[in-house]
Structure formats: C-alpha cells, structure tokens
Homo-oligomer: A and B are copies of this chain.
Amino acid sequence: MDADSAVSAAREYFLNLQSLICERLAAVDGAAQFSLEQIDNPQGGLSQPRVLAAGAHIEKAAVQFTHSIGDSLPPAATARNPHLAGNRFQATAISLIVHPCNPHAPTTHMNLRFFVVEAEQPVWYFGGGYDLTPFYPRSEDIVHWHRTAAAAAGEHYPALKKHCDEYFYLPHRQECRGVGGLFFDDWSEGGFDASFDFTRRIGDSFLPAYQPLLEKRIHEPYSDAQRDFQLYRRGRYAEFNLAIDRGTQYGMQSGRRIESVLASLPPLVRWEYNYQPEPGSAEHQLTDYYLQPRDWLAEAEGTAVDNSGD
C-alpha cells in the first residue's frame, strides 16, 4: 500500500460524502444553507468545516472535513510500534453532528477517519461510526436505524454495536448517551481495500439510516414542555462531549482550532437541579427503557429474551 494514494482515496471519499450530506441536510431544512470555510493546515493539509445554524428544522449541524499532515510522529502516539516514532504521518476524517429543532427528531453524530504512518511498511487504520440520541424515541425509528447499521456492518454489527454502547456512556450519570449504533477503531481487517470498502459501506449507510427519521419527525407538533425536556437532555450531550469524550479532550489539549473541536456542542442547553421525570411519563421512559443497551433487532423480530423487567 502506498500511503499517499491511500490518503488521496480516503480524502476524496470523505470530501464527497461531506458534500452529499450537506446537500441533503440543507434540502431537508429547506431554509438555511451550510457555510463553507477552507483553512489550510501546515504541511499541505486542509480543514473544511461546514456549519448550518438557525435553520427552519435544523437548529445546528456541523459537518467537518479535515486532512492533517505531521512531520514527526510523537513517541506517545505509537507505543505499539516504537520504531515509527519520528516518521511522517497523515490523518483525514469526516465528522458531523445534527441538532434538530424538534424534540421528536433525534440528534445524531457520525465520524469516519483514516490514519497512516509512512514507512517501508506503512502502518494505518480506519475508525469511526455513528450513533443516535433521541429525546422522545419511537421504537420503529430505532429499529430502522439499527437495521440500516446492521446491513452496512454485516457480520461485524454485534461487535460494533457493543463498542458503541460502551463508548457513548456517561459513568457519572450511569446512562447511555443515546440508543447506540456503530463504533469501530484500529480497523485494518482484510487489508486496505477491504477496510476502505467496509468504511465506505458504513459512510454510505448514514444518510439512509438518519434522513428518513429526520424527515418524518421534524413536522410533528410539540409542546413547550417537550422542548424544555430536549434542552435539558442536551445537557447530557454537553457533559459527555466536554467531560468524557476522549476525542474532544484530545482536541482541546492539542491546540487544534477550538471552534472546530467544539462545533458539536448543542446550540441551546438547559440544566435543572435534581430534575426527576414523572414515573411512567415519556420522559421517564427515555432513561428507564430506551437508553438501556438493548438488542433492538432481536426485539423487533420477537426473538429477544425479555430481561427489562417490564
């Protein structure tokens, strides 16, 4: 594998995916457009953050492309391959977050990345995934989301779903961030071509997984109380991103452009001391039922072992 042509291929795919996602989200919104900034990175890389704010249906969406090039890999970054320290390396990625206005429409996050250290035998991996954070979930939406994810990830779906449930978890609340999805890392299974195919299958499945849910739910009526609950639950998102997420913490400490690192934060957030939802309410069901790790596909097919206690 040639590092430069691998990076070029991943970069082209991520840029095209960014265009497609921005085009589709803007079309769903129908009012606001994505900004387009291009920021040259040192040594020839590029950051291309695109943000849509204050739309008719999308309160904030950030879809970011980055390609960064480093002259010398830090020793700490390569404990498993100490002989690579000091080598040239490249990383390219797409990452996105969507915060809809309507509390019936779920928030989502996706990212895909490719990393390579140049060497006679280049060391490289893919990583990424996507997850869904509803406020007023519908089981049918979650099943559609996981079915689409499972079709993309194939035999790897159970492992990637489990990894996702484990990663997007708030230990201080003992709560999952959302209803999960896919998460993979250090992925080089089957060699470059197979891994890149796998990454593309996941990337290509994001819009089919998310867009129907967004289109369906943005037109539902909602009350002020439901909007308040959405803002309250966005507090969990901010807690996760600022206090738990390793990617955000690395970004904050590494001196990367801070507006890009924190572009995922919700546009409006509410914290309320000691809020406790009414037992049996939709708000209570969110944490009591939906945000527990579940085998959504087995449940949909009626093959699940019910251990929810309901």
Q: How far is the CA of A270 from the CA of B267 in the complex (A)?
A: 5
Cβ of A268 and Cβ of B269 under 8 Å apart? yes
Q: Mask for A243-255, Cβ within 8 A of B = 1, else 0?
A: 1000011001100
**Oligomer: number of copies:** 2
Interface residues of A in 71-88 (CB under 8 A from B): none
Which residue on chain B has the smallest CB distance to residue A173? Answer: B258
Cβ of B60 and Cβ of A258 under 8 Å apart? no
Residues from chain B with a CB closer than 8 A to the CB of A272 are: 53, 267
Query: Is A143's beta carbon under 8 Å from chain B?
Result: no
> Known: A239-B242, A243-B242. Contact between A53 and B268, CB under 8 A?
no
Interface size on A, residues (CB 8 A): 32
Query: Is A45's beta carbon under 8 Å from chain B?
Result: no
Residues from chain B with a CB closer than 8 A to the CB of A243 are: 242-243, 248-249, 252
Cβ of B265 and Cβ of A53 under 8 Å apart? no
Residue from B173, B263, B273 in contact with A60 in the complex, judged by beta carbons closer than 8 Å = B273
Query: Is A55's beta carbon under 8 Å from chain B?
Result: no
Residue from B259, B261, B268 in contact with A268 in the complex, judged by beta carbons closer than 8 Å = B268
Query: Is A286's beta carbon under 8 Å from chain B?
Result: no
Q: How far is the CA of A263 from the CA of B262 in the complex (A)?
A: 23
Residues from chain B with a CB closer than 8 A to the CB of A171 are: 252-253
Cβ of A269 and Cβ of B60 under 8 Å apart? no
Cβ of A269 and Cβ of B238 under 8 Å apart? yes
Interface residues of A in 221-241 (CB under 8 A from B): 231, 235, 238-239
Residues from chain B with a CB closer than 8 A to the CB of A258 are: 172-173
Query: Is A271's beta carbon under 8 Å from chain B?
Result: yes
**Most chain B Cβ neighbours within 10 Å, of A231, A242, A261:** A242
Cβ of B51 and Cβ of A274 under 8 Å apart? yes
Query: Is A10's beta carbon under 8 Å from chain B?
Result: no
Residues from chain B with a CB closer than 8 A to the CB of A262 are: 239, 271
Residues from chain B with a CB closer than 8 A to the CB of A203 are: none
Q: How far is the CA of A249 from the CA of B239 in the complex (A)?
A: 11
Q: List 15 A-B contacts (CB under 8 A).
A: A51-B273, A51-B274, A53-B272, A53-B273, A171-B252, A172-B258, A231-B268, A235-B265, A238-B242, A243-B249, A243-B252, A262-B271, A263-B273, A267-B271, A269-B269
Top 6 closest pairs, chain A to chain B, by CB: A242-B242, A265-B271, A172-B252, A242-B243, A269-B269, A259-B274
